Amino acid sequence: MNNSSIIRRRIVRQLREVIDPELGVNIVDLGLVYNILFGDDKVIVEYTTTTPGCPMRRYLQQQIEEALKSVEEVDEYETNLVWEPDWSVDMIDGEVEFFAHPPPRTQMS
């Protein structure tokens, strides 16, 4: 296992702490995180919101940045909001049980 896959798992773990307040489920299991890319010297997280009309984008960006900051190995990062492909309910992890408390988390792969 190379170094980047370990860092990716740590990032995913932190991103699972970011909860969409409206749905009460973390953004990874909701399928809102599209990509975690490793550039030359920075990590790029591509994410979306459930609809372009959703005002949560700023809050989610702030939370994703906090999550990235908390991963020791990540020095430089960027968050990109993308609209393609459109998010759909089919992107939600099949294990997600909505509105369970505390918010559910699927097993890390």
Residue closer to other proteins, measured from CB, 5 or 98: 98
Residue closer to other proteins, measured from CB, 16 or 23: 23
Query: From the list 3, 53, 107, 108, which residue makes contact with other proteins (rule: CB under 8 A)?
Result: 53
CA distance 24 to 104: 9
Query: From the list 9, 10, 12, 59, which residue makes contact with other proteins (rule: CB under 8 A)?
Result: 59
Part in contact with other proteins (CB under 8 A); list of ranges 6-14, 31-39, 72-80: 72-80
Nearby residues of 57 by Cβ (< 8 Å), 6 or more positions away: 49, 81
Helix (H) or strand (E) segment spanning residue 20: strand 19-20
Helix (H) or strand (E) segment spanning residue 45: strand 43-47
- Residue 48 as a binder of other proteins (CB under 8 A): the answer is no
- Residue 92 as a binder of other proteins (CB under 8 A): the answer is yes
Nearby residues of 32 by Cβ (< 8 Å), 6 or more positions away: 20, 47, 48, 49, 50, 60, 87, 91
User: Residue numbers of the site for other proteins (CB under 8 A)?
Assistant: 21-24, 49-59, 61-62, 65, 77-80, 83, 86, 88-89, 92, 98-99, 101
